[in-house]
Chain A
Amino acid sequence: MFESLSDRLQAVFQKLGGKGKLTEEDVREAMKQVRIALLEADVNLKVVREFVARVTEKAVGEEVTKSLTPAQQVIKIVHQELIDLLGQANVPLAEARPGPTIIMLIGLQGSGKTTTAAKLALWLRKKGKRPLLVAADIYRPAAITQLESLGRQLGIPVHSEGAQSRPPDIARNAVRRARDESITHVIIDTAGRLQIDEPLMVELEQINAAVEPVERLLVVDAMIGQEAVRVAEEFNRRVGLTGIIFTKIDGDARGGAALSVRAVTGVPIKFLGSGEKVEASTIEPFHPDRLASRILGM
């Protein structure tokens, strides 16, 4: 993820680098290329427009400092703006005191929630925690079996009640069980849903009200396009997101949605997931500052 955006942007700045003094014309031409690179990376159109306008304004109005060439100065501005989009440092997973820490994974169909639930559980166990997985998707054929199978494979307990119980009840019972069994983290796997599916969004609010998870994490497929912002805004409005997890970053998606979603909702990206195999190495905390530098090849 991000490699191709990175290549494109670096090519634009390389061209600028050859110039001794930058004219307004140079900056505008470079920004035209930046705009296309961002759009081709699936950054949301509105976010791109604002980004380009801000960088252009700063770069054109900028006093030239002695220590930097004009091109370096533009890169510096872009770097700063990228960090503003992505957020500064990693925002770690919240811990509820007293425990257990309740984490709810939500998102569109097929985004990777169930797989991510298992990866997260394994990641937590490696940190010495005692996670419990909760099968709250009663709709998708074999969704419960999928989570149970992952739990068995990893040796992590799964709370499931079959498809007859209601998801808010399943969540409530799971939390009760967690208290009895000194579980530290309860990870609730919910059914995939469209953000416009009213009955299912109401159900999400009910689960949220029933167990008040400290983490309400939106799981987003890194291959998503312009739709990302609309989805994130609506889930955020309904349950107040605390973080975002981008999955399937092992592909060649350009990952622009990651930039847009954080920019529009202000919700931090907490983890990146890669690989369909459920191993500890396939989920990692996200560090926005490092990414901004990597995108610019710094």
Chain B
Amino acid sequence: ATDEPITDELWDDLEALLIQADVGVETTMYLVNRTKDRCNRYGVKRAREARDMLKAEMVRVLQEQERRQPVNANPSIVLVVGVNGAGKTTLIAKLAYRLKNQFGKRVLLAAGDTFRAAATEQLETWAERVGVPVISRGQGADPGAVVYDAIEAVSGGDFDVLIIDTAGRLHAKTNLMLELQKLRNIIRRKFPDAPHEVLLVIDATTGQNGVLQAKSFLKAVDVTDVAVTKLDGTAKGGIAFAIAQDIERPIRYVGTGEKMTDLALFDAETFVESLFAQD
């Protein structure tokens, strides 16, 4: 079946495949039409070759973003943002675990979600499991005060990395987005070039709303990287492709489960391959 000639049905199938993976209609049409044109131009006749061209195009788009290098700083300050329930707090546990155990980094966490019930306890539980300290003030406290405390704590040179958890917020809520900017300003008072990484966490099951999420967070706090969580499910996370293309930021991390070891570095080829995998 892989050596079949190109038919209209192939384009319909590819279109359906990408739409069902949440890549989005507009992005899908763009990709499929572009591949169609190139097949015509280069006289490509086989379905498999067309499919490979489409995949290669998607990999290229993703890899182009990956060329942006992360900033090297010490201490390095990471701000983690995203909508409610995306997987921010769990991802922070995974990152802390990786930095500590693979790279021997001295990591500090900050419980900047002072809003949600037991958000602080959740991060504290993770910190204990990973074996890293956490700065917190508990529910109802001013998140700015937590961030301030954390910034003070890393000023003495005792830590290499500070990762700040924030409350989940829907990107359409202006006041909550302004609050994020406030947190960033508090960081900058002491470290003008920080945060060095602003990590946007996207749930792999997210539909077309994901692009709006990314645009808003980019605008508010200049997202530097994207993490896609919950890729261990059946969702393919195609929205992450649309996001990377739209906001021109690399996807860096992939969450593959609920344990602190369930983290992978993003790999464009693996990701695109799995988008096309039929199951």
A interface, CB within 8 angstroms of B: 36, 39-42, 45, 108-112, 139-143, 145-150, 153, 194-196, 221, 223-228, 230-231, 248, 250-254, 256-257, 276
Task: Return the contact of B122 from the options A141, A225, A227 (Cβ within 8 A).
Answer: A141
Q: Please, could you name 12 A-B residue pairs with CB atoms under 8 Å apart, sorted by A?
A: A40-B25, A42-B22, A42-B208, A110-B230, A142-B124, A145-B118, A195-B233, A221-B85, A223-B213, A225-B206, A248-B84, A250-B170
* Chain B residues in 8 Å Cβ range of A111: 85
Closest to A251 in B: B170
B207-A257 in contact (CB<8A): yes
Shortest CB–CB separation between residue A231 and chain B, in angstroms?
A: 8
Given A40-B25, A149-B117, A252-B172, A196:B233 Cβ within 8 A? yes
Decide: A227 and B233 in contact? CB cutoff 8 A. yes
A interface footprint on B139-156 (CB within 8 Å = 1, 0 otherwise): 100000000000000000
CA distance A217 to B43 in the complex (A): 53
- Return the contact of A146 from the options B122, B206, B213 (Cβ within 8 A): B122
| A146–B209 CB distance below 8 A | no
Q: A110-B86, A146-B117 are in contact. Are A141 and B208 (CB under 8 A)?
A: no
Alpha-carbon gap, A221 to B117, bound state (A): 19
A45-B20, A149-B139, A194-B233 given; A142·B118 CB < 8 A: yes
Identity of the chain A residue whose Cβ is nearest the Cβ of B169 in the assembled complex? A276
A139-B234 contact, Cβ under 8 Å, with A223-B83, A248-B170: no
Residue in A36, A140, A148, A223 whose CB lies within 8 Å of B206: A223
- Asked whether A109 lies within 8 Å of B19 as measured between CB atoms, the reply is no
Contacts of B243 in A (CB 8 A): none
| Residues of chain B lying within 8 A (CB to CB) of residue A254 | 207-209
Chain A residues within 8 Å of B129, by CB: 141
Q: Are A225 and B22 in contact (CB under 8 A)?
A: yes
Q: 10 tightest CB-CB pairs across the interface, nearest first?
A: A225-B207, A110-B85, A42-B207, A146-B118, A141-B125, A142-B121, A251-B170, A142-B122, A225-B22, A149-B117
Q: A225 near B205 (CB under 8 angstroms)?
A: yes
Residues A110 and B122 in contact, CB atoms below 8 Å apart: no
Q: Which residues of A contact B235 (CB under 8 A)?
A: 225, 227
Q: How many A-B residue pairs have CB under 8 A?
A: 132
Cβ-defined contact, B207 with A224, below 8 A: yes
CB-CB under 8 A for A224 and B206, given A110-B85, A145-B121: yes
Q: Find chain B residues with CB under 8 A from A250 CB.
A: 170, 173
Chain B positions 203-236 with a Cβ under 8 Å from a chain A Cβ = 203, 205-210, 212-213, 230, 232-235
In the complex, whether B171 has a CB less than 8 A from a CB of chain A is yes
Given A42-B208, A256-B207, decide whether A251 and B171 contact each other with a Cβ distance below 8 A. yes
Which of the residues B20, B83, B85, B126 comes within 8 Å of A141, measured between beta carbons? B126
Kindly list chain B residues whose C-beta atoms are within 8 Å of the C-beta of A42: 22, 207-209
The docked-state distance in angstroms from the alpha carbon of A110 to that of B88 is 10
Asked if B115 is at the interface of the complex by the 8 Å CB criterion, the answer is yes
Chain B residues with CB under 8 A of A194: 230, 232-234
A111 vs B206: C-alpha distance in the bound complex, in angstroms? Answer: 11
- Expressed in whole angstroms, the minimum distance between the Cβ of A256 and any Cβ of chain B is 7
Q: How far is the CA of A196 from the CA of B167 in the complex (A)?
A: 29
B207: which of A149, A248, A253, A276 is its contact (CB, 8 Å)?
Answer: A253
| Residue interface mask B117-138, A partner, CB < 8 A = 1 | 1110110111001000000000
Q: Which of A110, A149, A153, A195 contacts B203 (CB 8 A)?
A: A110
Interface flag for B75 (CB, 8 Å):
no
Residues of B within 8 A of A108 (CB): 205, 230, 233
Q: In the complex, what distance in Å separates the CA atom of A231 from the CA atom of B121?
A: 30
- In the assembled complex, which residues on chain A have CB atoms less than 8 Å from the CB atom of B168? 276
Those of B70-127 within 8 Å (CB) of chain A: 83-87, 115-119, 121-122, 124-126
User: In the complex the two chains form, what is the Cα distance from A278 to B57 in whole Å?
Assistant: 46
* Distance from A1 Cβ to chain B, minimum over Cβ atoms (Å): 10
Give the CA-CA distance A41 to B267 in the complex, in Å: 29
Closest A residue, CB atoms, query B235: A227
Complex contact B19–A45 (CB within 8 A): yes
B239 within 8 Å of A (CB atoms) = yes
Indicate which residue in B19, B26, B125, B209 contacts A251 across the interface (CB closer than 8 Å): B209
Q: Which listed residue, A40, A143, A145, A252, touches B24 by the CB 8 Å rule?
A: A40
Q: Are A251 and B172 in contact (CB under 8 A)?
A: yes
Chain A min CB distance to B118 (Å) = 4
| Chain A residues whose CB sits within 8 angstroms of the CB of B119 once the complex forms | 142
In the complex, what distance in Å separates the CA atom of A276 from the CA atom of B84? 8
